[in-house]
Copies of this chain bind each other. A is one copy, B any other.
Amino acid sequence: MSDLLERLRGRGWRMTAQRRVVAEVLDGEHVHLTADEVHARAVVKLPEISRATVYNTLGELVSLGEVIEVATDRRAKRYDPNAHRPHQHLVCARCGAIRDVHPTGNPLAALPDSERFGFTISDVEVTYRGVCPNCA
């Protein structure tokens, strides 16, 4: 993620304190924060940052393909900075913990042509649900 700022700058992204802080918050493995959580953490580093800016910046990062929107939670969207390695998600039904996982094979292959209804399929999203060791 440290080179994210470089990549963005290289793409002509205007660098501001707010954008830098949002990008910094989205750093690490197994990070899946909601927009509100991102805002809460960003405020610690930059108290003036507004909610709208966090939403805007997250939206831009998603458009740029640097961050993935994840819908594991029924309430709020979550943002996953691990956009450059394809992966799926494993969610604890009790505490909501989320892990990135890497299944074997291509999940697309499991869908025969007869089940594609003429669609041109471009993406598959898989969410495994269960109970994590802490909650078991």
Which residues of A pack against B, CB within 8 Å? 69, 71, 74, 77, 90, 92-93, 99, 101-105, 107-108, 110-112, 115-133, 136
Judge whether A128 and B123 touch: CB under 8 Å: yes
Known: A69-B74, A107-B107, A136-B120. A101 touches B115 (CB 8 A): yes
The interface residues of chain B lying within 8 Å CB-to-CB of A116 are 90, 101
Across-interface contacts of A130 in B (CB, < 8 A) = 119-123
Whether A124 contacts B120 by the Cβ 8 Å rule is: no
CA distance A104 to B112 in the complex (A): 7
Q: Decide if A103 touches B99 in the complex (CB within 8 Å).
A: no
B77 touches A77 (CB 8 A): no
